[in-house]
Amino acid sequence: MSILVVTGTGAGVGKTVVTAAVAALARGRGSAVAVVKPAQTGVAPGHPGDLDAVIRLAGVTTTFELCRFAEPLSPAAAARAAGMPPVPMAGAARLVRELAESNRLVVVEGTGGLLDRYDEDGATIADLARSLSAQVLVVAGTGRGAVNQAALTLEALAHRGLDLAGLVIGRWPDEPGIVARSNVADLEMLAARPLAGALPEGAGALGREAFAEVARHGLAPTLGGTFDPAAFRHQVR
């Protein structure tokens, strides 16, 4: 059994698509997979959330969303704005441990970045990962500021003694400019290892079969794919 926490350098970097890609590859190998989203923010009740995208793209049906808040804020702030209780992080940890007993892989998708607050005590997805002894997969962007955001995330990760599963670019543009291309080498230097993947912009709009193929080519062998970071670097020079 294995637990993987997926976080990002911020919002909108492609965490959900990366989560779906990891789940799709594990499911394709015949592994039992569960996906947990402790907090969905910015989506009203009754509307499709991140787990709906994971189900559609990966075909995983064992999914759990613990809390949903309509405002596009951090989980703690969104709960406060809604006048609702915050995310029960201890309960989230118990659920993940229970799921890990019957599933080969449990993927936990965070909200926002590594240190976004989930409750008024300041609990974060980093705290959840530490309590679960889980590896953390970091999803990065490619625009201006991406390197600084990745550096801060990786520094916070190391400071908390968390194990980095890899750094993945969540939305690689069809026509990368000089900023995106130059960021690739810097991101690898920060992670002190080759990229663990790069998924193309728009992958989340694909059908399930096409998405599985994109996931295979876009994630490294450690995540079940065939992504070659050296070939990718050569391609984007």
Residue 187 sits in a domain of what CATH number?
3.40.50.300
What span, in angstroms and rounded, lies between the C-alpha atoms of 143 and 179? 6
How many distinct structural domains can be found in the chain? 1
Q: How many residues does the chain have?
A: 237
Q: What is the mean pLDDT of each run of 10 residues along the chain (237 residues)?
A: 92 96 96 97 95 98 97 97 96 98 97 96 97 98 94 97 97 94 92 94 97 98 96 89
Tokens of 42: 């910015």
Q: Among residues 27, 37, 68, 171, which one is catalytic?
A: 37
**Mean per-residue pLDDT of the chain:** 96
For the four alpha carbons of 47, 48, 51 and 52, in that order, the dihedral sign comes to positive
How much is the pLDDT for 236?
87
Query: Is residue 6 within 8 Å of residue 18, measured between CB atoms?
Result: yes
Specify whether 37 is catalytic: yes
How much is the pLDDT for 1?
56
How much is the pLDDT for 223?
97
pLDDT digits (tens, 9 = 90+) for 1-28: 599 999 999 889 999 999 999 999 999 9
Q: Among residues of the chain, what percentage have pLDDT more than 70? A: 100
CA distances for 197 relative to 40, 172, 187, 222, 232, angstroms? 25, 10, 12, 10, 9
Helix/strand/coil for 139: strand
Domain that holds residue 6: 2-236
Which residue, among 150, 64, 139, has the nearest Cα to 107 in the 3D structure?
A: 64
How much is the pLDDT for 109?
98
What span, in angstroms and rounded, lies between the C-alpha atoms of 7 and 38? 12
Residue pointed to by tokens 């229970």? 98
What span, in angstroms and rounded, lies between the C-alpha atoms of 160 and 192? 17
pTM exceeds 0.85: yes
Helix/strand/coil for 42: coil
pLDDT digits (tens, 9 = 90+) for 146-167: 999 999 999 999 999 999 999 9
